[in-house]
Chain A
Amino acid sequence: MTQLILFKDIDEPGLATLEVYQRRGGYEGMRKALGMSRDQLIAELEASGLRGRGGAGFSMGKKASFIPKGTMDKYLVCNADESEPGTFKDRELMQKCPHMLIEGMIIAAYAVGANRAFIYIRGEYELQAQILERALEEARGQGYIGEDILGSGHSMTLWLHRGAGAYICGEETALLDSLEGKRGNPRLKPPFPANQGLFQGPTLINNVETLATVPHIIRMGGEEYAKLGTPGSTGTKLVSVSGNVRNPGNFEIELGTPAREIIYGLAGGPHEGREVKFWFPGGSSSPVLLPKDLDLPYDFDSMAKAGSMLGSGAIIVIDDANSVVDVALKTAKFYRHESCGKCTPCREGTNWTVRMLERIDSGEATPMDLDIMASVQEQIIGNCLCVLGDAMAMPVGSMIAKFREEFEAHIEAARERNDALTTAVAPPEALIQGAVA
């Protein structure tokens, strides 16, 4: 059985309160950390092999080590924007165990010498924001946040900042702009936030789950933590499984667990009489995988080798009752809506993709449109300030590549349907007008 770390006591009544959390061993990691040197802490984090749980999977310890030493104002930001479709793990963690995140942030802030910290939570998470506010108040009352924390000489503030609904604000540099009170547009990198982030200061940004894991690493020791999971993907991971499964929800698994075990064993597999048609392994931004990939170990490297990514750890299962064209259209529409508009390939590319998929659906397309659409995806990838456009191009591109026959059949069927109705094709000026919208 998987050794549970983050979800060990998750349904313990009152776990959201400081009292119950401490009774369950909470804040021990913080006490231990405050007695260690900063270099020791970063060494433990590096030894743990912990990779970021927000999407990119970059080593947490390494990122922390990039923060320059010195006495300038440094910042720690927790990315609790969680808006990648299919992802809802941070929500459960913050709602049921907010102190675990706070403890992790105190340790991380101490390790990099950050004196100001923020949690950027998506605006829609009302309940979770209330719970976090209460927990922060408790932690301040105990002197865990404030001046000279437990006599360590380290001082910090920690505030909750609520967003107002924008997927792009999960992208780390857009998040920083949003936190500075601007529209959430991504910034050119470099400089990376570790050098020049919030208010131009060195900034460490990590996901909720990444930071919540930190106290456990300090408590267990980095090397001990690294024994869990696989060598390239250490530890446990919260996986959000949703879509066409019987038992959707969050599960804590050891990285490297076969995907089949997660989808069928834990989430109950598809409904009676249905089969898995394809699945997103890491949120809607990850290229889709097929049933033949179900026996792959679920970890960062195996997903990358299969041409996809582990992303935020959100598995969306689509069964054989659904059309791939519908899913592609839903996916593309989401990214069109959320594109901030700063970079042309993303702003226009997402729009064009939606329009072409709509043409496929309405029977105005030809199979050649599939090639054009594939080339639009290629033009987006790598040509923007952030990867929001890529995050549409990769899954949509993978759906076209893997289900080309179905797309072609769909085009054919829609055209035949139109012919049967003898509906006139839209007049050219309407098409042109539509295209410039």
Chain B
Amino acid sequence: MTIDPIDPRRVPRFDHGSRVPGWDEAVDLTKDPAEVPDPATTPVPDDLRAAIEAHIAKYPERRSATVPALREVQERYGWCTPEGIEQAACVLRLTPAYLISVATFYDMLETRPVGRNTIYVCTNISCSLCGADELYTTVRDEVGDDPEFNVRSFECLGACDIAPMASVNGTYVGPISLDEVPTLVQQVRDGAEPLPDKQLARRRSVDPNAASRS
């Protein structure tokens, strides 16, 4: 049993975002929805199964491991692929449709193919007061149409002290000045550490009372 992926870019939409009615008429409504995948016919890679089962063990109910399992799928396949969702559903004993309904709720879970280098540029209030909107367009321009990148403007990432900032493959960097963007993008292309001096991990406390003690 496989699920036909629907490429969301092929869904016709109005300018304001709504789907044009009838876009899904081709769907075969006589077909039953996918059931919980059968373990006998759904091959799940051993390490993925082990990782998901380790999550399941933490909770009194299996379903709690849904988001962690989807994160594992995304880690492995780059996005929540129909195949990965089916495998996770098989281990979790849930339907693929349920997992998709959860995946579409959360911003970090990708339900369509994306580049493997993720850059979230924060464009929320504090960052935008420090020039985040320009940063975002500059990063986009620098990356161009490189399919290896997934550049997104993001809500507050909880690092407004290093505004304007970005999360580069999970590493927080900031404040990023516009002329550092080419270096940053090149570092990501080369698989190098992004702007090492600007990483949040190295930032010391700015509280003068705390600093005076240590």
Instruction: Indicate if A252 sits at the interface (CB-CB under 8 A).
Output: yes
Query: In the complex the two chains form, is B64's CB within 8 Å of A179's CB?
Result: yes
Partner of A7, one of B125, B157, B207: B207
Known A164-B106, A165-B106; judge A10-B171 contact (CB<8 A): no
User: Which of A103-111, A121-129, A216-224, A289-297 lines the interface with chain B?
Assistant: A121-129
Query: In the complex the two chains form, is B156's CB within 8 Å of A127's CB?
Result: no
CA distance A327 to B65 in the complex (A): 38
Query: In the complex the two chains form, is A250's CB within 8 Å of B207's CB?
Result: yes
Nearest Cβ distance between residue B98 and chain A, in whole angstroms? 9
CB interface residues, B 121-166, toward A, < 8 Å: 124-126, 128-130, 154-163
Q: Among the interface residues A10, A90, A284, A334, which one has the most CB atoms of the partner chain B within 10 A?
A: A10
Task: Give the residue name and chain of the A residue nearest to B68 (CB).
Answer: A162
| A-side contacts of B107, CB under 8 Å | 164-166
- Total A-B residue pairs with C-beta atoms closer than 8 Å? 196
Query: In the complex the two chains form, is A123's CB within 8 Å of B106's CB?
Result: yes
User: Which of A26-34, A147-155, A181-189, A407-415 lines the interface with chain B?
Assistant: A181-189
| B-side contacts of A4, CB under 8 Å | 207, 209-210, 213
Instruction: Indicate if B205 sits at the interface (CB-CB under 8 A).
Output: yes
CA distance A123 to B120 in the complex (A): 13
Query: In the complex the two chains form, is B206's CB within 8 Å of A181's CB?
Result: no
Instruction: Indicate if A9 sits at the interface (CB-CB under 8 A).
Output: yes
Partner of A330, one of B14, B67, B124: B124
Partner of B124, one of A85, A179, A182, A434: A85
Nearest Cβ distance between residue A427 and chain B, in whole angstroms? 13
Considering only CB atoms and an 8 Å cut-off, how many residues of chain B contact the other chain? 58
CB interface residues, B 24-58, toward A, < 8 Å: 58
Query: In the complex the two chains form, is A251's CB within 8 Å of B207's CB?
Result: yes
Query: In the complex the two chains form, is B161's CB within 8 Å of A9's CB?
Result: no
Query: In the complex the two chains form, is B158's CB within 8 Å of A91's CB?
Result: yes
Query: In the complex the two chains form, is B58's CB within 8 Å of A124's CB?
Result: no
Instruction: Indicate if A61 sits at the interface (CB-CB under 8 A).
Output: no
Query: In the complex the two chains form, is B125's CB within 8 Å of A338's CB?
Result: no
Instruction: Indicate if B79 sits at the interface (CB-CB under 8 A).
Output: no
Known A164-B71, A181-B66; judge A122-B211 contact (CB<8 A): no
CB interface residues, A 1-29, toward B, < 8 Å: 1-2, 4, 7-12
Partner of A11, one of B14, B109, B214: B214
CA distance A41 to B126 in the complex (A): 39
Interface bits A107-145 vs B (CB < 8 Å: 1, else 0) = 000000000100000111111000000000000000000
Partner of A2, one of B59, B124, B170, B209: B209
Instruction: Indicate if A180 sits at the interface (CB-CB under 8 A).
Output: yes
CA distance A122 to B70 in the complex (A): 15
Known A91-B158, A157-B58, A330-B125; judge A249-B206 contact (CB<8 A): yes
CA distance A11 to B208 in the complex (A): 11
Instruction: Indicate if A59 sits at the interface (CB-CB under 8 A).
Output: no
Query: In the complex the two chains form, is A125's CB within 8 Å of B158's CB?
Result: yes
Nearest Cβ distance between residue B88 and chain A, in whole angstroms? 11
Task: Give the residue name and chain of the A residue nearest to B103 (CB).
Answer: A164
Query: In the complex the two chains form, is B102's CB within 8 Å of A182's CB?
Result: yes
Query: 4 closest A-B pairs (Cβ-Cβ)?
Result: A165-B107, A249-B206, A437-B16, A242-B160
23 cross-chain CB contacts under 8 A: A7-B209, A10-B214, A11-B210, A11-B214, A86-B156, A86-B160, A88-B161, A127-B171, A127-B172, A127-B200, A161-B67, A163-B67, A164-B106, A164-B108, A166-B107, A181-B63, A182-B102, A243-B129, A248-B162, A250-B206, A330-B124, A340-B105, A437-B17
Binding site for B on A (CB under 8 A): 1-2, 4, 7-12, 73, 82-88, 90-92, 95-96, 116, 122-127, 157, 159, 161-167, 178-184, 199, 240, 242-244, 247-252, 266, 280, 284, 314, 316, 318, 322, 326-327, 330-331, 334, 337-338, 340, 433-434, 436-437
